[in-house]
């Protein structure tokens, strides 16, 4: 089993599509083919853990990559969303002993997000893909 699922939030698509492009391009550069990748779009970041849990339950994937962008607004909604999605992804990972890579940007503004999709802070989509591949290797060689 070497399939990887990518769950992408459709909220803030000006950021999330670039995260997805970076992750997919990196995975393909490392040898993954289209048939090795399952891409699922969800409305927002809060919905990512539910889909991650459903995918993990199928036992068809070696890793799941969660991609999204939560950008702080004027209310405390940001804090709730960040906490829910990070806790949800961690819960799936621990419950299913499956790498769930947290590629959800949590930034103060668009500028910080752009800095993380090919700007001065690298490309977090590519980093998420690298982490997924490394964790698949760790789980296979060291744990399973």
* Backbone phi, psi, residue 74, to 5°: -90, -5
Where does residue 80 fall: left (phi above 0), alpha (psi -120 to 50 degrees), or beta otherwise? alpha
The token pair that represents 135 in the structure block: 């964790």
Tell me, yes or no, if 77 is annotated catalytic. Answer: yes
Q: Which of 43, 91, 31, 30 is nearest to 64 (CA)?
A: 91
Specify the pairing of strand 122-123 against strand 117-119: antiparallel
Find out whether 124 and 69 touch, Cβ atoms under 8 Å: no
Give the whole-angstrom CA distance, residue 14 versus residue 66: 16
3-state SS class at 42: strand
Of the residues 41, 77, 96, 123, only one is catalytic, namely 77
Find residue 103's DSSP bridge partners: 67
Residues forming the active site: 77
């Amino acid at each position: 089993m070497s399939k990887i699922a990518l769950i992408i939030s459709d909220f803030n698509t000006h950021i999330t599509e670039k995260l997805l492009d970076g992750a997919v391009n990196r995975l393909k550069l490392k040898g993954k083919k289209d048939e090795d990748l399952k891409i699922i779009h969800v409305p927002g970041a809060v919905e990512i853990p539910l889909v991650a849990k459903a995918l993990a339950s199928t036992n068809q994937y070696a890793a799941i990559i969660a991609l999204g962008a939560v950008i702080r607004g004027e209310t405390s909604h940001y804090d709730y969303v960040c906490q829910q999605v990070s806790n949800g992804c961690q819960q799936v990972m621990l419950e299913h002993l499956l790498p769930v890579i947290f590629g959800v940007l949590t930034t103060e503004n668009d500028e910080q997000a752009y800095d993380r999709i090919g700007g001065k802070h690298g490309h977090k989509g590519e980093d998420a893909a690298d982490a997924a591949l490394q964790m698949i290797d760790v789980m296979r060689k060291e744990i399973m």
